[in-house]
Amino acid sequence: MNAKSYPLPTSVVTSLLFIASALLCWIFADLSIVTRTPWQEFFRMAAGVFSPQWLPWPELLSALAKTLAFGLLAVALSALVGFLLCLYFHKRGVKLFCASIRAVHELFWGLLFIQLLGLHPAAGLLAIAIPYSGIFAKVFAEIIEESETESASSLPPASDKVSQFFYEKWPRIKAHFASYTLYRLECGLRSSTVLGFIGLPTLGFHLESGFMQGNYGLVTAMLIMLYVLIASIRVWARFRLMPLYAGVAAFYLWAPLNIDSTLVLSLVHDMSPLPLRNTQTEWWPWFSNLSSTQIFPGALNTLLITQIALVLTGVFSLISFPLLSKQFFPRPTRSLSHLLMVMLRSTPEIILAFVFLLLWGPSMLPAVLALAIHNGAITSHLLARHSNELELRLDASRGINRYLYEVLPRIYGQFLAFLCYRWEVIMRETAIVGILGIHTLGFYIDSAFESFRLDVAVLLIAVSALMNICVDEVARRTRRRLHLVKQPLVRAC
């Protein structure tokens, strides 16, 4: 990795463009701070942190087992589907299909499937597995693409496609597939927890109950369980054991499902736009009213929050990654920082956002910071791993000089690549803070579900998917302009 492969001007220009767009958004965004008397609530939070309140064993174990079961089964399923899809990823239709299913946040898939399947476990499973299949397909396709450029075929020219795949490609990409699948497990466990917020009987279910009632002891206990679960993945997760784990999870979650066809029909009816069902409603007034009251403001707020949070994510990770890097700190400090980062990236954003909301009052600031810290902790972890691979000279400078002149220039291109990948993710996650009352598209989608206007919900979900696809495309072009297409893959949720 030498400096030549990333021409400095392009990366600087890109950074400046990011910063300029964030500053522009800053002007329009409401980031005011109102501080009054949050200390009583903080005192209760602190008291809760120091006295975790554990559920009785059967309930705790069941929540833990279900978090694991939903995460494992969904990841296994989507790895399988993603694998099949990635074989056809060169087809435009498949690519577009994958982009649109992964552009919808799992919370929205969850809300949709709850309407369709009620409280059946399949609702939670599909909510995670559908977007994850789209992500797996994309990443697997990238892995294959990279492996292709590495060597020419060593098989006889007449060998068929199946043999070509399994004798030539598979041995080379297997390890990458396996490691990505295991990496995705962390995301799966987090998603299965977050879906507890809308009713899946996982750790998130009790986490939300505790949080909503101000029972911070319960919140602490559930968060500790989640941290332990995520930190222990590398102990028990093995690619070969995945089918077994998934099988046991399937047995554990299995429940008979009766789909009532009249119900499905009435839901399809509800999801079709109002003017189609009701002849008294005209298309244009309906759509223009929705655009001016929900689509446009929602899309604007989503964009404002995304752009500011993206730049703050970058700032956070640039500041914090040395704490995790062996180029800067000895092992004890790194281990401690590692623990802190696991906590920051595993704590659901909505809880971070609520703490900031108490502290600074209602504006976009809590949402922006919650997103920046969560995503920054992930990027920081990835950057540190990347910096650990650098080989510095024995007499290389130390401290701030090492940071500025040795490490930063060497990893900056990779840093921008990571940010480009986070872009799409951050936009998808604005959905979650929308539920706090910050009027993103997620806020309006949640409102539409709450008032049973499924047609509006579906339309808004489509709009947010479209925005995600656009951002994904811009990010891809930016990476290409930075010559970052052939960089090592980003392993992150």
Partner 1 sequence: MFKFARTLGCIAFGLLFTRLCLAGTFVFTAIPDEDETRLKARFDQVATYLSKTLAVDVRYVPVKSYAAAVAAFRSDQVQLAWFGGLSGVQARRLVPNSQAIAQGEEDQSFKTYFIAHSSTGLKASPTLPKKIADLSFTFGSKGSTSGRLMPEFYLRKQFARSPEVLFKQVGFSGNHSRTLALVQAGAYQVGALNYKVWDNELKAGRIDSSKVSVIWETPTYPDYQWSIRGDVDAIWGEGFTAKVTEALLNMKDPALLAAFPRSAFVPASNSDYKPILNTARTIGIID
- 94 vs 116, beta carbon nearer partner 1: 116
**How far, in whole angstroms, is CA 142 from its chain's centroid?**
19
Between helices 92-102 and 57-86, what is the axis angle to 10°? 160
Pick the stretch among 33-41, 85-93, 169-177, 460-468 that binds partner 1 (CB under 8 A). 33-41
* Smallest separation, CB 25 to partner 1 (Å): 18
* Smallest separation, CB 362 to partner 1 (Å): 5
Pick the stretch among 3-11, 31-39, 101-109, 481-489 that binds partner 1 (CB under 8 A). 31-39
- 424 vs 446, beta carbon nearer partner 1: 446
Residue 147: is it exposed, middle or buried by C-beta count within 10 angstroms (0-12/13-18/19+)? Answer: middle
Binding flag, residue 285, partner 1 (CB under 8 A): no
Among 226, 449, 458, 468, binds partner 1 (CB under 8 A): 449
Among 8, 20, 50, 59, binds partner 1 (CB under 8 A): 59
The amino acid sitting at 321 is: F
Residues 443, 435: contact at Cβ < 8 Å?
yes
* Smallest separation, CB 373 to partner 1 (Å): 19
CB under 8 Å to 420, separation ≥6 — which residues?
475, 476, 478, 479, 484
Per-residue binding string, partner 1, 92-111, x by CB under 8 A, is -------------------x
Binding flag, residue 75, partner 1 (CB under 8 A): no
Closest by CA position to 329, among listed 321, 339, 319, 341: 321
Binding flag, residue 10, partner 1 (CB under 8 A): no
Residues 193, 226: contact at Cβ < 8 Å?
yes
Binding flag, residue 261, partner 1 (CB under 8 A): no
Binding flag, residue 441, partner 1 (CB under 8 A): no
* Smallest separation, CB 484 to partner 1 (Å): 40
DSSP sequence for 140-199: HHHHHHHHHHH----S-TT--HHHIIIIIIHHHHHHHHHHHHHHHHHHHHHHHHHHGGGT
Residues 327, 390: contact at Cβ < 8 Å?
yes
Number of residues this chain uses to bind partner 1 (CB under 8 A): 56
* Smallest separation, CB 68 to partner 1 (Å): 16
Map tokens 């049973």 to a residue: 452
Among 82, 121, 124, 210, binds partner 1 (CB under 8 A): 210
Other C-beta atoms lying within 10 Å of the C-beta of residue 467: 21
Binding flag, residue 34, partner 1 (CB under 8 A): yes
**How far, in whole angstroms, is CA 133 from its chain's centroid?**
13
Cα gap 373→150, rounded to integer Å: 37
Among 28, 170, 234, 247, binds partner 1 (CB under 8 A): 247
Cα gap 6→179, rounded to integer Å: 27
Binding flag, residue 348, partner 1 (CB under 8 A): no
Binding flag, residue 273, partner 1 (CB under 8 A): no
**Binding region for partner 1 (CB under 8 A):** 34-38, 40-41, 59, 111, 114-115, 117-120, 196-199, 201, 205, 208-210, 212-215, 218, 247-248, 251-252, 254-256, 260, 263, 274, 357-363, 435-437, 446-447, 449-453
